[in-house]
């Protein structure tokens, strides 16, 4: 239970995120948290949606990466907008410890943003991204990479058995795949 309610992600998975003494577990199940959480918002306000990001990446959980997709209807399909972003927990702040002056139930620390689309000024923590949100019909041929050490922290990836020919590839998000899902699967 976080913030008085049971928060569950739309999708989540664990790569390597073992239960380590002192790291929070889910209060409802006693199991470890997923390493990466995916959230999709359609009708909820942007502020409520971003609050979930802050909850998932706070020191109250053990989630390392949050991927959020926000869809906003505008009255006709051609004007519908969307936003997508990726944030990770602030590992340095958590390692330094919670400041004594913060209330025990206060969300802390702020997430660290890795990638984000234009958001129409709706996310104060993201400077220089005040352009309008993207239209759903506009292709987004970009790839966002998330290093595996961020997803798997604090676990150490086991050494490969023979030396790899190339470094371990990052987790790659193909942004246009999400846009395509919105366009092809949204209800009338």
Q: What is the pLDDT of residues 8-48, one digit of tens each?
A: 777 676 655 455 555 666 777 777 778 899 999 988 888 88
pLDDT at residue 1 greater than cutoff 50: no
CA angle centred on 170, ends 166 and 175, rounded to 5°: 135
pLDDT at residue 129 greater than cutoff 70: no
Average pLDDT for 117-125: 79
| Percent of the chain residues topping a pLDDT of 70 | 76
Angstrom distance (rounded) from CA 110 to CA 92: 11
Phi, psi of 50 (to 5 degrees): -70, -25
Domain parsing of the chain, residue ranges: 11-185
């Amino acid at each position: 239970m976080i913030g008085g309610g049971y928060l569950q992600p739309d999708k989540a998975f664990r790569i390597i995120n073992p239960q380590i003494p002192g790291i929070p577990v889910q209060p409802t199940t006693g199991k470890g948290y997923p390493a990466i959480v995916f959230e999709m918002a359609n009708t909820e306000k942007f502020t409520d949606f971003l609050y979930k990001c802050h909850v998932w990446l706070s020191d109250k959980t053990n989630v390392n990466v949050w991927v959020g997709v926000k869809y906003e209807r505008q009255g006709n399909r051609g004007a519908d907008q969307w936003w997508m972003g990726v944030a990770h927990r602030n590992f340095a702040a958590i390692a330094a410890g919670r400041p004594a002056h913060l209330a025990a139930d206060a969300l802390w620390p702020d997430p660290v943003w890795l990638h984000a689309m234009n958001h129409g000024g709706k996310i104060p923590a993201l400077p220089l991204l005040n352009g309008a949100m993207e239209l759903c019909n506009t292709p987004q041929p970009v790839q966002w990479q998330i290093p595996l050490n961020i997803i798997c922290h604090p676990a150490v990836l086991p050494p490969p058995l023979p030396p790899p020919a190339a470094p371990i590839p990052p987790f790659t998000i193909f942004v246009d795949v999400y846009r395509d899902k919105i366009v092809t699967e949204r209800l009338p």
